[in-house]
Every structure is written in C-alpha cells, then in structure tokens.
A and B are shown apart, each in its own frame.
Chain A
Amino acid sequence: MTRALIAQLRRIPAAARACALIALLNAVVWAVVVPPFQVPDEITHFGYAQYLAETGEPPPAKEGTAQYSDEQQLTLERLGFFGVIGRADQRGIWTTPDDRALRDALASHPSRQGEGGPSSATNQPPLYYALTAAAYWLSPGHDILTRLYAMRLVSALLAALTVLCVFLFVRELLPGTPWAWTVGALAVAFQPTFMFIAAGVHGDNLLFFASAAVLAALARAFRRGLTRRRAVAIALATVVGALGKLTFLAFLPGIALAFLLLLWRAAPDRRRDALASTGIAAAIVAVPVVLYTVINTGVWDRGGGATGGVAVNSSRAISIKERIGYTWQLFLPRVPGMHDQFDYVPLWETWFKGFIGRFGWLDYAFPEWVYGAARAIFAAVGGLALVELVRRIRAIGLARLDWRLPFGAVVAAMAIGLAVAIGWQGIGYRADTGFTFEQARYLLPLLAPYGLIVALAARGAGRRWGPAVGALLVVVAMTHGLFAQLLTISRYYG
C-alpha cells in the first residue's frame, strides 16, 4: 500500500512538485507577513480548532456561550486586534513594552478551553479543524501564537497541494503543451487573494484543495475513462471537500452529472465496470458523510449536518424570483423585469477588484489605478484564451471535442452550483444583517479553471511566442503577488 502510494507520488511530474514547493514557500512568506488573526475570520477558525484540540469534539455552539477561550480572547485584546480590523489607519502592537505585556498576560495561563459558542465557523464539519488541531498539539511551543503559526503551516501545505492539483488539471486539458502546465500552476501559486487566505488558519484552504483535486480527478476520468481507481480518487476528493466545508456541497450536482456522463460515455463492454466504480464512489462519499451527520446530531448534539453556526433567522420571506434575480445580478447585468438588487456592479466591485486584491478584514486595497491596469491585462488574457479556444475547436472540429464538451458542461454545472450557493446565502445574509455577504475568495474553489485560462491565453499567443507570453504572464502574477506583500507590510508595519 505504502509502496504503491510512493510509486504514485513518483509519477507526479517533477515540474508539478516544484510548482507545489514554490507555492509552499510563497504561502509561508505570506503567513509570516500577515499578523496573527488578520486573515478574515481567522479568529473563528482558530477558535473552532482550539476547542477541538482541547476537548476532542467540535464546538457545541450553544446560544449564549463564549466564542473564544480566555487565552484567545486575552491575546486578541493584548494585540489590539479589535481596534485594527476594518481600520486601515490603525496598527497593532509595535513596541517592546506592549509585547512584554502580552507575554506577561499569557504567562498567567488563561484557560485554553473555551465554551465553543456559535460563530460563523462552528456549523462547519471538522476535517480542516482536525488537521489544524494536530498541528496545535505538534507545535514546538505551547503558547498560543507559536501554535497559531504551526496551524498556519497546515494551510500553507494545503495551498501547495492545491497548486499541484491545478498543474495536474491543466495537464489533462492541454496534454500536448507541457510548458503551459507550469504557467497555469504558477499563475495560481502567486495569486495574492488565494495566498492571503493560505496565510491564515482558515477552513477555505481545505475547500480550495478539495475543489482543485476533484476537478483534476474528473478531468483525468473524462480524458482517460472511468476506472475504479479514478472513481475512488474523485470520491476521496469529494469526501475531503464535503467534510471540509459546507460550500463544497454546491459542487455535488456537478459531480453527480459527471458520473452520469462518464457512464454514458463508457464503451458498452466497460459500462458494467463503470457502473460498479460509480457505486463504489457513491458509497465512499455517502458513508463518512452520513456517519458525520449521525455523530454530529446524536453524539455531539450539534443538530444536523449543517447546523450549529451563528443563527440566521430571515426577518422576511425571500421569494424564489428574488433569489434568482439577486444571484443573476451578482455575476451578470440585470435584465428587464428584475428588481435592481445592487447600487454597484458586483462583477467589478466584488469579484474583479476582490480577486485582484482587497486584503485584511477587507480594510485595505491597491490604489484605484491598479484595478484599471489589471482590467486591461485580464481583457488581454481572456481574449487570447478565447482565440485559442476557438482555434482548437476549429482545428479538431466540434464533433471531435469528444470528452472535452461533456467535461466543460460538468465544470459549468459546478460553477453554477457555486454561484447559486453564494447567491442563496448572500440575499439571506443581507436581509438579516444589512451587510454584504459576498467576497471574492468565495470563487477560489474555481482556481483550477483560472489556471487553465492563463495557460490557454499563453498558448493563444501561438507556437513561437506562447512560451514567452506564458513566462511574461507568470512574471506579472509574481509581481502582483510581490506588490500585494509590500502593501500588506505597509498596512501592518509601516
């Protein structure tokens, strides 16, 4: 078994492993640059993981109980955390006396075991938190900040694995252009919004990894046919996603569609095998998910599989028409007959500008001209990718797109599922709180298709110039990441 696993790992191209290592280094740098708890919602994710590490159970999330342990609460206060988030003109502690006061306060050994009160993270399944809880215990130091950085390393490792999967995804879709695999993976490895989340203790990191892994596994199955091993790979990635973050459930209809299409495409003499593989995959997914739901309800007393977070009680009923209109306008221009949901353009303000960079607790960003420049670059990238796509379709003919067309439908179904999930939650959240729910990071489960678009764009420059344009796009991504790091340093230390 171990030997087989090592043999499988050795089959991963050296360039893929190198891309993953580069992503790991970059994520570690981000983890060092971003001060403790300054990644959005890192406080709640850390709180969940600490509770799990200290008690062996996920937080019970009972109303009226404290979200954080005394140790975490004290640390947040001594770091000046609540005065810094959302206030770009404020800084955390910078002086030796403040640092000493923090250490002295922690030396009083405040309780590490909190009450596990409800937070934005507590309704999530525990897989990511179990991984970070392991780092919590393996940490070389037992003070909260050393443990936090040990836990951040788990996120950095997951980011590296995500980049590895992006590489494998692009390889399946552009098998004849090895240099483009590296271009797609490195464009993701330096993407600063992704790296900012990878810097922190944050459940999204497992979601990003599972999403990229399932997309890579699906691409492989579509290109090479559904075998038992490939079905198991898809199923395992799905289990990791489903037990990692509830958002992943939005991908399940797309994954189900993928299995239907894979069965339909299987040669008649292989169909029986494919059907058996699908059954095994379904069992691999169903058993742990059902088990988790039963334990969550019966043993941990946390309600169903998706309950136990901050209560959301919609103050008013939201009609299906309203939800559709909201979700549509989140991504597309409003069409006649739809009630106007936004007084800004979400495609630009939320998704594009957020993807280019809005950091911290959404409290600092690049100067406005950067987004204009980025728009021009992305228009060029999109244009080149489109040119390449049309050229490929013309070259091989629509009829010979064989597996690519149904696979494209699967990716589209997964993307639509994600968009619907974001819209569904977004309108409810806005109705309850008056605040905007959506953040660009919610689209990062689609990092693999993003890497593919960049790789396609490079190939769109033609056989002679493609590698050079690919190299240029990677340097642009690296520069983007570097200036995001400098911006972050000026935000917190300058």
Chain B
Amino acid sequence: MRVRVVLGVALALVAIAVVVALSQRGDRLAGTNFVHVAGVPVELPGGRRACQVTRLVDDAQRVELFVDTGGRRAPSLDVTFTDPGGAIVARGNHRAGADPGEVVVTLDRRVDGNHSATFCVRNEGARRIGLGGAPAAPDAAATIGRRPTAGVIAARYLRPGRETWWDLLPTIASRFGIGKAPVFGAWTLPVAALLLLAAWAGAIRLLLRGSGS
C-alpha cells in the first residue's frame, strides 16, 4: 500500500514537473548559419556595411548577432538578406541603445523556405564595432566594400514570438528525421516516446510486484 501511495504521488509530481518544464515560453531557434562565435573577426567602422554569403533558414523572423562595442551601447544596425538576383528576402533594423553582446534584430517578415543569401550588416553609428564570428580565409570572409575581413559573421536565427516546447513539438518531430538513417522520419519522436512510456510502465509494474502491493 505504501509503495502504491509513494509511486502515485511521485508520478503525479513528475507529470506536473514535465508539464511545467515544457510549458516554459522562450525564444526558439530556427537554425544558424553554422558559424559560431569564436571571436570578433569583423571590425566594422561607423557608416560601413559588411556582407557575406550565408544561409538563411525557414521560419526565421529574428537574427541574433554578437556585437562588441567596447562597453558602449550598440549603435543602430541595419540587416538585409538578398537573393542572388538582388531581391530582398528579408530586412530588419535594430535601433541604437541596446546592450552590447547578443543583439537580436527583428526581420520585416517570417522567412519562407531555405535560402542562400547575401547577408549584410550596416553600422549606422559613428564608432567602430566588432561582429562576432569565426576566422575565415579571404575568399570566404565577410567583405567591407571589396576588402575581405578576417572572418565570417555568426548568425543565429530565431523563430517568431516566444513559444512553449509544446508549440515546437511538430517542428522537433520533423527535425528528428533529418540527418539520420533514411528510415527515420517525423514518426521517430512519437515512437521513441511510446518506447520510453513502455519502459516506465514496466518499471512501475516491477516495483509494484516486487513490493507485493
């Protein structure tokens, strides 16, 4: 009887904890341009623009950049993504005054589909800033005018709004099938959840039988 009560209470608490954890709202990632912030390789003077070819992913509506201002507030930043034909895929502006570090620029639309785009960041302030990214060879590096910089700019793309993990569940399920054995697909996550549920049910049954409850 004690085992039943303890298991009942404990499992109810676990269920509550899971619901609370998965109901947390937050910024969720749409993807990255596969560049991490290893340093600040792109020095961007005031009034200038740094550009590079990069990937832009489906569902992105905000882009997170790492901005180094030497401790001062970040200047206004203008961000554009253009396709190979020169048409604007998305653009955004971040007003001056943000804390330095991770700066999130909201785009004017939700990106539809995956693109290879020319990504430009314009420093609309007067002072030089640094943009976080990774070192790169001149032919792959971001350029200012025609001059290559020391690296590429890291961009993390965020989905619109603040979502719970429940909201993201269908997206996660589809991501589960990517980059794995071809037999895997969106069905993999629900099946894994069922297998885990079976393991839990088996364990609970064993504990109840073992105690003679």
Contact = CB atoms under 8 A, between A and B. Distances in A.
Interface in B174-199: 175-176, 178-184, 188, 191-192, 195-196, 198-199
A80 B210 CA distance: 47
Interface in A158-177: none
A79 B180 CA distance: 9
Interface string A138-168: 0001010110110000000000000000000
B29 A91 contact: yes
A409 interface: no
Given A94-B57, A475-B11, A482 B196 contact: yes
A143 B182 contact: yes
A15 B210 contact: yes
B2 A468 contact: yes
Contact of A494 (B168, B178, B181): B168
Contact of B6 (A15, A472, A486, A494): A472
B182 A18 contact: no
Interface string A74-105: 00000110010001011111111111001100
B172 A182 contact: no
Nearest to A75: B179
Contacts, number: 158
B7 interface: yes
Given A36-B179, A98-B178, A146-B183, A90 B195 contact: no
B31 interface: yes
Interface stretch (A27-35, A332-340, A392-400): A27-35
Nearest to A86: B36
Contacts of A470: 207, 211
A474 interface: yes
A178 B210 contact: yes
Given A32-B192, A182-B210, A99 B6 contact: no
Nearest to B134: A83
A153 to B, nearest CB: 12
A54 B94 CA distance: 55
Contacts of B183: 141, 146
Interface stretch (B14-22, B83-91, B121-129, B136-144): B14-22
B35 to A, nearest CB: 8
Nearest to B14: A479
B108 interface: no
Given A475-B11, A485-B196, A149 B206 contact: no
A471 B202 contact: no
Interface residues of A, number: 64
**DSSP majority for the A interface?**
helix
Interface residues on B, range: 35 or more
Contact of A467 (B58, B181, B211): B211
Given A18-B202, A92-B179, A29 B172 contact: no
Most buried by A among B28, B37, B181, B196: B181
A19 interface: yes
B10 interface: yes
Given A25-B199, A91-B29, A493-B172, A182 B207 contact: yes
B96 interface: no
Give the one of B2, B179, B198, B199 with max A CB within 10 A: B179
B23 interface: no
A465 B2 contact: yes
Contacts of B31: 91, 94-95
A475 B17 CA distance: 13
Interface string A467-490: 111111011101100110110011
Nearest to A145: B181
B9 to A, nearest CB: 9
B192 A35 contact: no
A149 B177 CA distance: 13
Contacts of A149: 180-181
Interface in A440-494: 464-465, 467-472, 474-476, 478-479, 482-483, 485-486, 489-490, 493-494
A312 to B, nearest CB: 28
A285 interface: no
A179 B212 CA distance: 9
Nearest to A139: B181
Given A25-B198, A186-B203, A494 B180 contact: no
B176 A493 contact: yes
A22 B199 CA distance: 5
Contacts of B211: 179, 467-468, 470-471
A270 to B, nearest CB: 35
Question: 4 smallest A-B Cβ distances: which pairs?
Answer: A467-B211, A179-B210, A25-B199, A468-B2
10 contacts: A26-B199, A29-B199, A32-B191, A87-B36, A91-B31, A103-B182, A186-B206, A470-B211, A471-B207, A478-B203
